[in-house]
Structures are given as C-alpha cells and as structure tokens.
Amino acid sequence: MTRSVPARRARGFTLIEMSVVLVVIAIVIGAVTVGRDVYRGAVAERISSEFVQGWMLAYEHYVERVGVVPGDSLTDPNGRVAHGGDPLCGDALRDAMLTRGIALPQGRSEGLETRYVYQDSRGNPQEIEVCFMSVADWADAAAGGSYIARPRNVMRLTGLTPELAGMLDVRIDGRTDARFGRLREIGAHADTSSPTAAASLWSSDETLTWDGPDDDDDPDANSGDAQVVPLQAYLRMSR
C-alpha cells in the first residue's frame, strides 16, 4: 500500500517581514537622495569658490596690475569693460589675462578656462561660461527708496541651472533673490520698479527641461532624460 505524502504548504511573507523590507528600501532611497544633495552642494561650493570667485580675483588682479578694467582702452579709458562694446569672452578674455601675467582659474581644461562643466539634478551635463561686459541698465538704489539704471561692469554667467543659481545666490548675497544683490538674473537686473518685501524668484526651476539645442523653444517638463533648462545671470563687479 502506497503512502501519500502531504503537499508542503506554501509560506508567504508576513506583514512584519514586508514592513522590514519597505523600511530598508526607504532607508536606501533616502541615503541615495541625501548623497546626491550632498554631492551637488559640494559641486556648487567648488564652482563658487574656485571658478566664479577665481574669475573675480583674476579681474581684480588685472585692474590692480594694468590700471584699467579688462578690455578698456589704456589711452582713452572710460571705466567700462570691453571699450568697443562687445563682451570679453573665450579666447579674447583668456589672452587679455595671460598677456598681463594674470593666473587663470581652473576651468574645463587648459585653453578652456572660461568654461566649467558639471551635472544638473538629472545627471545630464551642463556648461557654465564666464564673460565680462558692461551693462547700461543695472538697477541701483537711489534717494527716496527708488531705483535708477546705472552703467556697471558685470561678469556674465551662462549655463546655470536654477538649483545652482540659487546656491550661488545664497553664497554671494546671503539669500536667493533674482532681482537684488550682486548676483541677478539677466532681465531682473534692470528692474527699477518699487521693491517688494518678498524675494524675487528665479524664472525657472528644476522641473523645466529641454531635449537639446534644437528643442530650446519647446521645453518638456516630463522628459526624464532631458537637460534642465539653464539660466543666465550677471554678477556685478566692484569696479
């Protein structure tokens, strides 16, 4: 007589085991998120201290050594960067500094010191470029709480993600405000209307993305592989 063997009863996960697994997953996700935030914060600090401030120092050293601002005429100076009216960028900026023996910050590579490559919050590459120029419509405080447009020498920064712009703003001005302080978003820098108590936000955030150079006019906030739309800013120089 053959004896039947009882089938083994399948055992599922208990609620406690499932809870432990979910907690572990949450801890891992939280650690990854914190790690990314720490990394991007460190990158922003490096861009601020080594690249942006490095170019601010190069500008000041040029003025101290030459006696005029970069690009201004030695024989007929007017105190404005790029006496001819064009921004001082790329090779022209690099050559102007090196000709006077000014050390350049470390940028993207040798020969590309005016540029800096980093990753946005989606892990896609972005590139900052530094130029010096003069603007005629920088909004300065005047008597009676009003604002008036005045010419100022500025460092133009292109390729800033909204996150990086905010981080640089806090490091330079102490708070995030696209309209006031030394660092301003291009366009907001010329706003001479009455100030409000609330800070002026930067015009974009990390949700606005675009797929590439050919898609600049068609941002797509739902594209997971797209770059974050970059912003442009002016940093007012001390002279």
User: Is the pLDDT score of 227 beyond 60?
Assistant: yes
List, for residues 169-192, the tens digit of each pLDDT value: 999 999 999 999 999 999 999 999
Q: What is the mean pLDDT of residues 12-35?
A: 60
Residue pointed to by tokens 């005629």: 136
Give the pLDDT band (50/70/90) at residue 199.
Answer: confident
- Predicted pLDDT at 72: 94
C-alpha separations of 64 from 60, 67, 224 in Å:
6, 6, 48
Distances (CA, A) of 32 to 23, 110, 204: 14, 33, 25
**Which pLDDT score, from 0 to 100, does residue 82 have?**
85
pLDDT at 33 over 50: no
Mean pLDDT over residues 7-27, rounded?
63
* pLDDT higher than 50, residue 113: yes
Segment 184-209 shows an average pLDDT of: 88
Give 33's contacts (C-beta < 8 A, 6+ positions apart).
Answer: none
The ranges assigned to domains in the chain are 16-236
pTM above 0.85, yes or no: no
Cβ–Cβ < 8 Å for 231, 203 = yes
